[in-house]
Amino acid sequence: MAESGKIDPMHQFAIEPLFGTDHLSLGGFNIAFTNSALYMVLAAVVLWIFVIGGLKRELVPGRWQMAVEYMTGFIKNLLIANIGDNGRKYIPYVFSLFMFILLANLLGLLPLGLFGLHPFTFTSHFTATGVLAIMSFSIVLIVGFWKHGLHFFSLFVPHGTPLPMIPVIFPIELISFMVRPFSLGLRLFVAMTAGHVLLKVLAGFVINSANAGVGYGLTVGSASFVLMIGISALEVLVAVIQAYVFALLTSVYLNDAENLH
């Protein structure tokens, strides 16, 4: 424990106020500009620059415009496949959600540690993913009750449910519905946290085994390093998949709100 204690795999998730804004507050709440906030701003700015490249509005697009249009088209197809043509109005929200999470995940994976910086993945914090999940869930609730009124509750009674089963089915469906924001937020938080912890633990193996001697370094250390390379690639995939899952589930839930069943 004393040996491995040198490297704390959880330290990467620590939130630290930057630029001496420790006590910045608004209405009695602390709103310090932290490393987490910095990466949120970075994700927003990178996304902004990316989308500006798509605003050339040329009939024959260049590479950059093509890339931006590919992403918006991807979200459009996702929404149309899940919701139908009604889904087009959610393109701005789901695009923002998908790209923001995707860039947060990818920016957090950048090997900035090589330059002495501390990359930070704010999607590994459930305070951040929870807000996004609650936002999606709120939109589902608002759209559902706006469009269908109290009829929205029929969502919890699937078609063709026998009458005596309704008292049993209704609470089950209600609970599964209420669990959605938690599963949405926790899935992203857990996936990002687990991947980053795994990478840091393996990195700790490499460093500690190398320090323990050449024999350990060449066996345990190099094996861990090879594993890290593979897992780093896997993490890039997970970063994309988790952003996609978040957008996909949001659109599936929105489909419930738009079309009931």
Partner 1 sequence: MPQIAQIAETYSSQIFWLLLTFGFVFFVIGLGMVPKVQGTADARDAKITGDLDAAKAAFARADDAEADYRVRDAESRVAAQAVMARAKADAAKASEAKLAAADAEVASKIAAAEARIQAASNAALAEIETVAAEAARDMVARISGVDASEDAARNAVKAALAHG
Min CB(29)–partner 1 separation in Å: 4
Q: Toward partner 1, which CB reaches closer, 27 or 116?
A: 27
Q: Toward partner 1, which CB reaches closer, 152 or 191?
A: 191
Calculate the CA 211 to chain-centre distance: 36
Min CB(41)–partner 1 separation in Å: 6
Q: Which of 198, 17, 36 is nearest to 104 (CA)?
A: 36
Give the 3-state secondary structure of residue 17.
Answer: strand
DSSP conformation class of 34: B
The Cα 196–Cα 231 span in angstroms is 10
Min CB(95)–partner 1 separation in Å: 5
**Distance from the first to the final alpha carbon of the chain:** 54
Q: Toward partner 1, which CB reaches closer, 52 or 179?
A: 52
Min CB(175)–partner 1 separation in Å: 25
Contact 140, 253 (CB under 8 A): yes
Q: Toward partner 1, which CB reaches closer, 95 or 152?
A: 95
Q: Toward partner 1, which CB reaches closer, 209 or 242?
A: 242
Min CB(176)–partner 1 separation in Å: 26
E strand segments, the chain: 25-26, 29-30
Min CB(35)–partner 1 separation in Å: 11
Q: Toward partner 1, which CB reaches closer, 23 or 261?
A: 23
Q: Toward partner 1, which CB reaches closer, 101 or 239?
A: 101
- Taking CB atoms within 8 Å and a gap of at least 24, the contacts of 249-252 are 249/136, 249/180, 249/184, 250/94, 250/97, 250/136, 250/184, 251/78, 251/79, 251/82, 251/83, 251/87, 251/90, 251/94, 252/82
The Cα 74–Cα 28 span in angstroms is 42
List Cβ neighbours of 149 (8 Å cut-off, separation of 6 or more): none
Residues that bind partner 1 (CB under 8 A): 10-11, 13-15, 17, 26, 29-34, 36-37, 40-41, 43-44, 47-48, 51-52, 54-55, 57-59, 61, 65, 68-69, 72-73, 76, 91-93, 95-96, 99-100, 122, 124-128, 131-132, 135, 189, 193
Residue 19: which region, alpha, beta or left (left: phi > 0; alpha: psi -120 to 50)? left
